[in-house]
Chains A and B, each alone.
Chain A
């Protein structure tokens, strides 16, 4: 039987711990017992592979889901999904969700006193192409207040959810914007100990995907876990 190749563990400091007390909700929800390391099995190196149809051809454009155009600054967000060895992650589903330009989510629990936009839902899907590339059209989300601490505001962000090729590669993250002054005060952003890793959550302004008279471009590349080079010894 062919030996199974697992996925490499993230480098120390590049992922948040479950418990990060400045992010108050983590206190009652982070497990207290250490995680248990398990051997690589087929169950971890396989994972859901979605049909392309789930990301309908129009689901990547969040500005065209209603009768009119949403308010706010129109942006294109694009990038490449690769693994830690630089190989493209092909045909993988990406789901995103975000607040509207005023910083309000179309969600029953969002109590922020900012207007909803009848032309903006704030959710989109697409899948990467053979080179791992993806693109969304949306509007720049507003910052919004939250109850974590006094005068707490989330920096502008877009939530990203990716599957990758395996159960082991599943990732949910957030994309931030360059130069956002709120990043410095945000405990969710700062839950990642390593500064270089944290900076990879910040998109960059992208002149090449900026379109005249249409939209600014931001680039957000995503790296999923890479494969072990040799089978795990047990």
Chain B
């Protein structure tokens, strides 16, 4: 009889004592690839900013390779790209980070997935983490991405970062926990 998985519990309001050590808002350092920034806000069911969330990021390098033993394709460029970031939101519910654009990772059927970032979100009030993804605008592979395909068309744009007026390498991606524009969250 296998032991079932330990239940999740909320991070509560005071996670920054224990989790600050791994805060990392610049994932791009020391690696090759097209640099870009993502900024956004986390909003609750009243549209109020969430000042006590943490956003964690996991993604592949510019060649679509994950720094992980189960990704057996030969690592490209031999960069030191680790692919992990962690950022708390500020008093206005805002977060921002800099990284490189990941290359396409192959999907379950061997066809490429569109470039994407894996996102975990934690906060007081969340009894378990939320999982989602950030995709890129104007990316031809979005049309055939195996994960975007299972998302109802009307909600897909909640997963796609938007260009900003600031500059072409700064994108905006907001998290709405509830409401008309509720972000799509995944179960995997």
* Chain A interface residues toward B at CB < 8 A: 1, 4, 6-7, 9-11, 14-18, 20, 23, 25-33, 35-50, 54, 82, 84-86, 95-99, 105-107, 109-110, 121-125, 159, 161, 165-168, 170-174, 188-189, 191-192, 197-198, 200-201, 222-226, 232, 234
Given A30-B178, A42-B71, list of 6 further CB < 8 A pairs? A25-B125, A43-B105, A54-B21, A107-B14, A161-B15, A171-B6
Beyond A35-B186, A41-B147, whether A159 also contacts B105 by CB under 8 A is: no
Bound-state CA distance A122–B18 (Å) is 7
In the bound complex, residues from chain B placing their C-beta under 8 Å from that of A168 are: 188
* Chain B interface residues toward A at CB < 8 A: 2-22, 44-46, 48, 50, 52, 56, 58-60, 66-71, 82-84, 105-110, 113, 116, 118, 120, 122-131, 133, 146-147, 150-151, 155, 177-178, 182-188
Bound-state CA distance A18–B18 (Å) is 23
List the 6 closest A-B pairs by CB distance, nearest first: A97-B18, A25-B125, A29-B125, A46-B68, A48-B84, A16-B127
- Distance in angstroms from B173 CB to nearest chain A CB is 16
B186/A161 in contact, CB under 8 A: no
- Distance in angstroms from B81 CB to nearest chain A CB is 11
Cβ contacts A to B, 23 pairs, < 8 Å: A10-B4, A16-B127, A28-B44, A28-B177, A29-B123, A31-B178, A38-B188, A40-B188, A41-B105, A41-B147, A42-B71, A44-B188, A46-B68, A46-B71, A48-B58, A48-B83, A54-B21, A84-B3, A97-B14, A106-B17, A109-B52, A172-B10, A188-B10
A11/B68 in contact, CB under 8 A: no
Bound-state CA distance A223–B44 (Å) is 31
| CB-based nearest A residue for B102 | A43
Beyond A54-B22, A107-B17, A161-B18, whether A173 also contacts B127 by CB under 8 A is: no
Beyond A30-B177, A48-B84, A54-B22, whether A173 also contacts B187 by CB under 8 A is: no
Residue of B19, B177, B188 touching A29 (CB-CB under 8 A): B177
Beyond A47-B68, A48-B58, whether A32 also contacts B6 by CB under 8 A is: no
A223/B146 in contact, CB under 8 A: no
Pair count A-B, CB < 8 A:
248
Classify the secondary structure of B's interface with A: loop
Residue of A42, A159, A223 touching B70 (CB-CB under 8 A): A42
- Distance in angstroms from A157 CB to nearest chain B CB is 8
Bound-state CA distance A192–B131 (Å) is 19
Residue of A30, A50, A123, A198 touching B7 (CB-CB under 8 A): A198
B106/A47 in contact, CB under 8 A: no
Bound-state CA distance A84–B146 (Å) is 28
A25/B6 in contact, CB under 8 A: no
Beyond A18-B126, A161-B18, A167-B58, whether A38 also contacts B7 by CB under 8 A is: no
In the bound complex, residues from chain B placing their C-beta under 8 Å from that of A25 are: 124-125
Bound-state CA distance A40–B116 (Å) is 15
| CB-based nearest B residue for A20 | B127
